[in-house]
Structure 1
Amino acid sequence: MSEVKKGDKVKVHYTGKLNDGSVFDSSVNREPLEFEVGAGMMIAGFDNAVNGMKVGDKKVAEIPAAEAYGEKNDDMVVSVPKAQLPPDLNPEIGQQLSMQQPNGQAIPVVVTKVETETIEIDANHPLAGKDLIFDIELVEIS
């Protein structure tokens, strides 16, 4: 039986959890996740975890933040004057917004603080700075 290696296309079922056991994503009750190993489609730790697996194998992969979505970057937390926001926007802590970069690309941000004249937004990935745990089952290699 063959083992997964770089360049293989694979299908996996997975459940992603935080250290407290809370589930942030899962393919259970959905189609398995399909990706090419080593192509940069997945976070590094997940990509590495499937290497060497065989169809039917199950494993638990503990992925440190550095191999997941990276550490939280304080430079990605910025204060924005409310005057620059759309007039009909009533920002609340935890609200997700979309911010347009100078190149036109939209990036998701989360409101982390609301003050009288400004709001603070965080453009870090929601899982940045967090160690992740994935239950992985290899379904197919092609």
Structure 2
Amino acid sequence: MSLVSPDLSIANLEPVPVVAPGSFLTLHYRMAAPAVNGQPGADIINTFKDKPATLSLGNGQLSPALEQRLLGLPEGTRATFEVPAGEAFGERNPDLIQWVARKLLNELGDPDEKYQVGDVVQFPTPDGAGQYAGAAQQVKADGSAVQFDFNHPLAGQAVVFEVHVIGVL
């Protein structure tokens, strides 16, 4: 981790808020692939070029591993973390690659949909209260089923997580 501390000068006598569980945050963040041969990795998401993000720590808006790295950071802090493969979004799980019958896909969505490799499809959770995504990996030649990967797209990958904590409530 590299860390640039906030301004803690004598003139700044008010206590600086610190990120704690349940904090509401305004921050810029960038998630990127790790550097390769000295070249920075490609950005996955970057709010530094636009509006900052707002989130409530502990509500699942970031992975627990990324939230853990924010805990204890004072408002105004800029920090960069290298998150090891599998830690940010878990390891890849081969059990999460599954064939889904066309009949079920027809019941859940548009029966005329023509699925292609790379399509990302939203599925309802078993309780119907939420959704999760699967990426189409294969389509049977006869169209009777589609193989989906339900792993997080970044599962099993290392990431660089850069943050600037703008506000803490």
| TM value normalised by structure 1 | 0.81
SS at match of 2:16: coil
| 1:135 paired residue number | 162
The 5-angstrom pairing of residues 44-123 of structure 1 reads 44-86=64-106, 87-104=111-128, 105-117=130-142, 118-123=145-150
Separation in 2, partners of 1:55, 1:98: 36
Indicate conservation of the 8 Å contact 2:20/2:72, yes or no. no
C-alpha change, 1:100 and 1:51, in structure 2 (3 Å) is closer
SS at match of 1:47: helix
Shift of residue 23, structure 1, vs aligned partner: 0.9
Q: Select which of 7, 20, 35 maps to 1:6.
A: 20
SS at match of 1:67: coil
Where does structure 1 lack aligned partners over 5 or more consecutive residues? none
Where does structure 2 lack aligned partners over 5 or more consecutive residues? 1-14, 36-40
- Between Structure 1 and Structure 2, the one with more strand by share is 1
In structure 1, what residue type is equivalent to 2:29?
A: Y
Separation in 2, partners of 1:57, 1:140: 10
Larger radius of gyration: 2
C-alpha change, 1:82 and 1:35, in structure 2 (3 Å) is closer
Identity %: 23
C-alpha change, 1:51 and 1:99, in structure 2 (3 Å) is closer
- How many residue pairs match? The answer is 141
Separation in 2, partners of 1:73, 1:89: 27
In structure 1, what residue type is equivalent to 2:94?
A: D
Indicate conservation of the 8 Å contact 1:100/1:107, yes or no. yes
C-alpha change, 1:51 and 1:3, in structure 2 (3 Å) is farther
**Displaced runs of 4+ in structure 1, greater than 6 A?**
none
Separation in 2, partners of 1:100, 1:36: 24
| 2:43 paired residue number | 23
C-alpha change, 1:137 and 1:106, in structure 2 (3 Å) is closer
Indicate conservation of the 8 Å contact 1:3/1:51, yes or no. no
Higher mean alpha-carbon deviation, 100-109 vs 43-52, is at 100-109
